[in-house]
């Protein structure tokens, strides 16, 4: 009887993660399990083929029996409210931390959908053009019924989620609660073990432990974001960050703007600054965390301290709050955020979004970029077409809110905070597997360049059959 997988997203792109597992049992009954339900973002939506990708799933949401989520990032979870609004009635499985993060992220995403739609209508009316007929992808009202479908299980617990389908999560070390998904599938005649890595973290000493090894699989779906490159060797993050803070804020008396993703990176940077502060090495410079989502996320991370690396949990005995230190302020109100721009005092501002495409950080950049005393510190991946990408590529001027902004500020970058493993780390992650026993390795969640390169590296390691699925391509397992 067939067991099949169809790739409905993240097939040649890094967004829209969505893989549909279909099982027909020997008694004729069927099961359909959706691995992730991510939103397409950025360039994946740019051309005419891409426009509708978030509106048409390519399968019937009502026919899905269960969703199994790898982690909370929007490119893995962001279409769940739409799936539920279109008739999905099963459970959504995740780890407890992923559920908590999804509650704030999906609501934030719904507000953005609503805002973008109202904004598009307003702009169309102003120009006398046709008003968009399709509404937002979903609204805030769709989030609560979605959250009500969540059911959670911890790492390393084996659980029957449907007849013939057992789920075990292992820690993927990517963000809080992130998991690799391991399914034991039995059609009544034969059984098969399918592992889906989700996004794979790094083997560096940060808040979270490195990715955990997992039991032998028959088929693996693996991410490939950085499949063609190795991150720069990491000096101590503390030393590098301290050097930037001292040079910009103390020596030049400028402002250091750190555009950072609200979840994950913001907490990692606060953790580094807190360590420097505890050691008495952080200069007395005000630090502002300017993002309501980051503040809520930091509270969730605090609540899940049991997931930290053992050495970090040990530190909690000496310092019960690893994200707070003298001089740090958390800015919720937008009036307070605007006041920050009026002041000329040296400070550090951590604000979303990481790719500098949206959010409050654009206001800070608008004011900071013209002054050569200031600096922007990029800490994550900036996709082509984003403001972050332009700055990192040496743009001398950019446009923000329609204004021409000269770039005189210094543009810095730190790779330490990247949440994705590089080529070497992805190869290392699958060293827990006997490649001869893996019938097929599917590479997803990477542009074609990186995943083709990674396929070559995996073949050298003995994985015989490495596939690069195309969008909507179906394979029998």
**Contact (CB, 8 A) for 39 and 99:** no
Q: Give the nearest distance from C-beta 38 to Zn ion in angstroms.
A: 9
Contacts of 444 (CB under 8 A, 6+ apart): 7, 10, 11, 17, 19, 221, 222, 223, 224, 451, 469
| Nearest one of 443, 441, 436, 430 to 469, comparing CA atoms | 443
Bridge partners of 476?
A: 4
Closer to Zn ion by Cβ: residue 12 or 38: 38
Quick one: which segment of 197-205, 300-308, 312-320, 430-438 binds Zn ion (CB under 5 A)? 197-205
Quick one: which segment of 42-50, 79-87, 131-139, 198-206 binds Zn ion (CB under 5 A)? 198-206
Distance of CA 37 to the CA centre of its chain: 13
Q: Cα separation of 261 and 114, whole Å?
A: 21
How far is residue 97 from each of residues 25, 297, 471, measured CA to CA in Å? 33, 10, 30
Q: Give the nearest distance from C-beta 175 to Zn ion in angstroms.
A: 6
Q: Give the nearest distance from C-beta 477 to Zn ion in angstroms.
A: 24
Closer to Zn ion by Cβ: residue 270 or 419: 419
Quick one: which segment of 15-23, 45-53, 196-204, 294-302 binds Zn ion (CB under 5 A)? 196-204
Angle CA 290–414–382, to nearest 5: 70
Closer to Zn ion by Cβ: residue 100 or 199: 199
Quick one: which segment of 37-45, 195-203, 250-258, 389-397 binds Zn ion (CB under 5 A)? 195-203
Quick one: which segment of 1-9, 29-37, 191-199, 312-320 binds Zn ion (CB under 5 A)? 191-199
Q: Cα separation of 388 and 306, whole Å?
A: 34
Closer to Zn ion by Cβ: residue 330 or 442: 442
Closer to Zn ion by Cβ: residue 19 or 73: 73
Q: Give the nearest distance from C-beta 75 to Zn ion in angstroms.
A: 7
Q: Which residues between 44 and 73 bind Zn ion (CB under 5 A)?
A: 73
Q: Give the nearest distance from C-beta 365 to Zn ion in angstroms.
A: 24
Closer to Zn ion by Cβ: residue 175 or 185: 175
Q: Cα separation of 229 and 422, whole Å?
A: 6
Closer to Zn ion by Cβ: residue 73 or 423: 73
Q: Cα separation of 125 and 123, whole Å?
A: 5
- Cα dihedral angle (441, 445, 451, 455), rounded to 10 degrees? -10
Closer to Zn ion by Cβ: residue 54 or 440: 54
How far is residue 202 from each of residues 168, 233, 423, measured CA to CA in Å? 21, 12, 11
Q: Give the nearest distance from C-beta 29 to Zn ion in angstroms.
A: 34
DSSP string, 299-341: HHHHHTGGGS-HHHHHHTTT-S-TT--TTEEEE-SHHHHHHHH
Residue entry with tokens 């059959």:
465
Closer to Zn ion by Cβ: residue 199 or 290: 199
Q: Give the nearest distance from C-beta 358 to Zn ion in angstroms.
A: 18
Q: Which of 22, 100, 199, 415 binds Zn ion (CB under 5 A)?
A: 199
**Contact (CB, 8 A) for 360 and 352:** yes
Closer to Zn ion by Cβ: residue 164 or 421: 421
18 binds Zn ion (CB under 5 A): no
Q: Give the nearest distance from C-beta 71 to Zn ion in angstroms.
A: 6
Helix (H) and strand (E) counts for the chain?
Answer: 13, 22
Q: Give the nearest distance from C-beta 17 to Zn ion in angstroms.
A: 8
Interface characters, 427-456, with Zn ion (x: CB under 5 A) = ------------------------------
Angle CA 364–365–371, to nearest 5: 105
Bridge partners of 19?
A: 7, 35
Q: Give the nearest distance from C-beta 352 to Zn ion in angstroms.
A: 15
Quick one: which segment of 143-151, 152-160, 199-207, 329-337 binds Zn ion (CB under 5 A)? 199-207
Closer to Zn ion by Cβ: residue 351 or 418: 418
Q: Which residues between 72 and 131 bind Zn ion (CB under 5 A)?
A: 73
| Range list of β-strands (E), 149-262 | 150-152, 159-162, 165-171, 179-186, 191-196, 219-223, 255-259
Closer to Zn ion by Cβ: residue 261 or 330: 261
Number of residues that bind Zn ion (CB under 5 A): 2
CB-hemisphere CA count at 13 Å for 317? 4
Q: Give the nearest distance from C-beta 224 to Zn ion in angstroms.
A: 13
| Range list of β-strands (E), 102-162 | 150-152, 159-162
Q: Give the nearest distance from C-beta 73 to Zn ion in angstroms.
A: 4
Q: Which residues between 453 and 472 bind Zn ion (CB under 5 A)?
A: none
**Binding interface with Zn ion (CB under 5 A):** 73, 199
């Amino acid at each position: 009887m067939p067991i099949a997988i169809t790739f409905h997203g993240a097939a040649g792109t890094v967004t829209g993660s969505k893989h549909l597992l279909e099982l027909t049992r020997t008694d004729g009954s069927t099961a359909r399990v959706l691995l992730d339900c991510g939103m397409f973002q950025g360039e994946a939506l740019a051309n005419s083929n891409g426009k509708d990708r978030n509106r048409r799933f390519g399968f019937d949401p009502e026919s899905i029996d269960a969703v199994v989520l790898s982690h909370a990032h929007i490119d893995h979870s962001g279409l769940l409210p739409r799936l539920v609004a279109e008739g999905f009635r099963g459970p959504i499985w995740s780890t407890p931390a992923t559920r908590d993060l999804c509650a704030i992220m999906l609501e934030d995403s719904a507000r953005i959908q609503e805002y973008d739609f109202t904004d598009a209508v307003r702009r169309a009316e102003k120009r006398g053009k046709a008003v968009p007929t399709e509404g937002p992808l979903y609204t805030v009202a769709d989030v609560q019924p979605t959250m009500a479908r969540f059911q959670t299980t911890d790492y390393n617990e084996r659980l029957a989620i449907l007849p013939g389908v057992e789920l075990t999560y292992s820690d993927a070390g990517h963000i809080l609660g992130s998991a690799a998904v391991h399914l034991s599938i039995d059609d009544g005649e034969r059984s098969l073990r399918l592992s889906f890595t989700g996004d794979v973290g790094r083997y560096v000493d940060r808040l979270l432990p490195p990715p955990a090894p997992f039991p032998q699989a028959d088929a693996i779906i693996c991410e490939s974001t950085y499949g063609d490159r190795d991150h720069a060797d990491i000096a101590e993050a503390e030393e590098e960050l301290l050097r930037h803070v001292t040079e910009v804020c103390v020596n030049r008396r400028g402002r250091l703007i750190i555009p950072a993703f609200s979840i994950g990176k913001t907490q990692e940077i606060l953790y580094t600054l807190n360590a420097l502060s505890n050691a008495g090495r952080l200069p007395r410079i005000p630090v502002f965390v300017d993002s309501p989502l980051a503040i809520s996320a930091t509270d969730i991370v605090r609540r899940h301290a049991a997931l930290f690396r053992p050495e970090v949990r040990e530190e909690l005995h000496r310092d019960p709050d690893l994200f707070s230190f003298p001089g740090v302020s958390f800015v919720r109100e937008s009036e307070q955020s605007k006041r920050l721009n009026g002041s000329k005092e040296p400070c550090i501002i951590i604000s979303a979004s990481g790719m500098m495409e949206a959010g409050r950080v654009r206001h800070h950049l608008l004011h900071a970029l013209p002054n050569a005393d200031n600096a922007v510190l990029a800490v994550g991946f900036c996709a082509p077409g984003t403001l972050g990408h332009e700055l990192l590529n040496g743009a001398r001027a950019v446009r923000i809110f329609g204004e021409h902004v000269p770039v005189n500020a210094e543009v810095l970058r730190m790779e330490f905070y990247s949440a994705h493993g590089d080529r070497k780390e992805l190869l290392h992650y699958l060293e827990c597997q006997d490649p001869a026993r893996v019938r097929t390795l599917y590479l997803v969640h990477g542009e074609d360049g990186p995943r083709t390169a990674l396929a070559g590296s995996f073949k050298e390691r003995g994985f015989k059959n490495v596939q690069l699925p195309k969008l909507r391509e179906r394979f029998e397992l």
